[in-house]
Chain A
Amino acid sequence: DVKVTQSSRYLVKRTGEKVFLECVQDMDHENMFWYRQDPGLGLRLIYFSYDVKMKEKGDIPEGYSVSREKKERFSLILESASTNQTSMYLCASFGPRGGNSYEQYFGPGTRLTVT
């Protein structure tokens, strides 16, 4: 089974801190994603990466950056955390499911609170 792990389930940080959220997948997938999930807004794509050192902005990249130095690891960085970045952060990788079917495999999520 594909496994996507995230470094923390819960995280509390102070305003202005630099925050690293790490995601690791074990299926050699090329594509990885970072989303944030907020009540009433669903999942919104922050950044995605389709190969090592390659990245593209999603719908809400402001205030975030990413790093993909190795294929299995995709990091989300909050350069200077703000209270409006309090959210659930979900990482996903994209790969085959069998036959011609593909799906996104999600990690368990990191609930980040910025105070």
Chain B
Amino acid sequence: SQQGEEDPQALSIQEGENATMNCSYKTSINNLQWYRQNSGRGLVHLILIRSNEREKHSGRLRVTLDTSKKSSSLLITASRAADTASYFCATDGGGAQKLVFGQGTRLTINP
């Protein structure tokens, strides 16, 4: 089955800096989503980008999608301590309801 893969696996930056995480996937998609997971909790949806979109913004989040390279990036600008979490990309692989998640990037924001 297809698998999203995030890169890097772990990222540690200073508060106020920008954080960039990347995701690669293997098969065609209708859309790609990013989720956040605070330690020991469930996942929370952040943003969805469709296959015909190249870039999307939501507050301090910017997501890009390159379907020719089968990759996406999530940029968090002006990071805050509260952004410390794991971030996962998820692809639908052509099936709207069934998502395939990557292994995640663990982001640590140092005050």
Chain A residues with a Cβ under 8 A of chain B? 4, 31, 33, 35, 40-43, 45, 48, 50, 59, 88, 90, 92, 94, 97, 101-109, 111
Chain A facing B: main interface SS:
strand
Cα(A90)–Cα(B40), bound, Å: 11
Cα(A40)–Cα(B5), bound, Å: 11
Contact of A104 among B99, B102, B103, B104 (CB under 8 A): B99
Cα(A99)–Cα(B79), bound, Å: 29
The 10 closest A-B pairs by CB, nearest first: A106-B42, A42-B103, A103-B45, A43-B101, A106-B43, A31-B97, A94-B97, A108-B42, A107-B42, A109-B42
- Report the contact-size class of chain B (Cβ under 8 Å from the partner): 20 to 34
Tell me if A103 and B101 are in contact (CB < 8 A): no
Cα(A92)–Cα(B104), bound, Å: 18
Query: Besides the contacts A42-B102, A104-B45, what 14 more A-B pairs have beta carbons closer than 8 Å?
Result: A4-B42, A35-B101, A41-B103, A42-B104, A43-B101, A59-B1, A88-B40, A92-B43, A97-B45, A103-B45, A106-B44, A108-B41, A108-B42, A109-B41
Measured CB to CB, the nearest residue on chain A to B42 is: A106
In the complex, chain A residues whose CB is within 8 Å of the CB of B82? none
